[in-house]
Amino acid sequence: MNAAPATEPSEFKEFTISRILQAPRELVFAAFTEPERMKHWWGPKGFKVIAANMDLRPGGIYHYGLQAPDGSKMWGKFVYREIVRPERIVLVNSFSDEQGGVTRHPMAPNWPLQMLSTFLFETTGDATKLTIKWLPLDATEQERATFNAGFEGMNQGWSGTFEQLSAYLATAK
């Protein structure tokens, strides 16, 4: 008789979200890889990009600053692992300080310090299917539990970001 595999407390689910965007794949990919384009849509709904420095190559960094509607500032960074134009971007995503050092989530101290993020761009007719996958990277037990409990909030946050991206793509060339 085969026993079912044990579920260890350290397991976590992968967060995945997809949207069909009414734009060609090359334009959607450019919206993620050109800082001037990202300034128009990146971040939570209502936030404004105030700084954007990108070195788009494996090992390169995108360091950005956001300003919330209340005027507070938040920083983040990507460290690129893989870039396959126009199909895939794999990176490590984290919150940061203004100098680019990795920091804790400003509103959720038990959030994973770093996330492995995969962005997949797939042509579907005249549109693009964008799929985003997140996994905690080198997370503690508490960080994994926080991640697993946060799917609804991640879904809401990405849905607002997708709305901004869709609006940008409708006017972009």
CATH of the domain at 31: 3.30.530.20
CB 64 within 8 A of CB 52: yes
Distance of CA 98 to the CA centre of its chain: 19
Query: CA triplet 158, 90, 45: central angle to 5 degrees?
Result: 20
Please give the DSSP secondary-structure letter assigned to residue 43: S
Block residue for tokens 């919150």: 95
Taking only the tens of pLDDT, the chain with its 173 residues reads: 444 344 444 466 899 999 999 999 999 999 999 999 999 999 998 999 999 999 999 999 999 999 999 999 999 999 999 999 999 999 999 999 999 999 999 989 999 999 999 999 999 999 999 999 999 999 999 999 999 999 999 999 999 999 999 999 999 98
pLDDT confidence of residue 13: 84
The answer to whether residue 71 is domain-embedded is yes
The answer to whether residue 7 is domain-embedded is no
The answer to whether residue 10 is domain-embedded is no
The answer to whether residue 9 is domain-embedded is no
Record the pTM.
Answer: 0.91
The answer to whether residue 139 is domain-embedded is yes
The answer to whether residue 3 is domain-embedded is no
The answer to whether residue 148 is domain-embedded is yes
Number of domains in the chain: 1
pLDDT confidence of residue 6: 40
pLDDT confidence of residue 36: 96
Looking at residue 9, its amino acid is P
pLDDT confidence of residue 133: 97
Expressed as residue numbers, the domain containing 113 is 15-171
pLDDT confidence of residue 173: 86
The answer to whether residue 47 is domain-embedded is yes
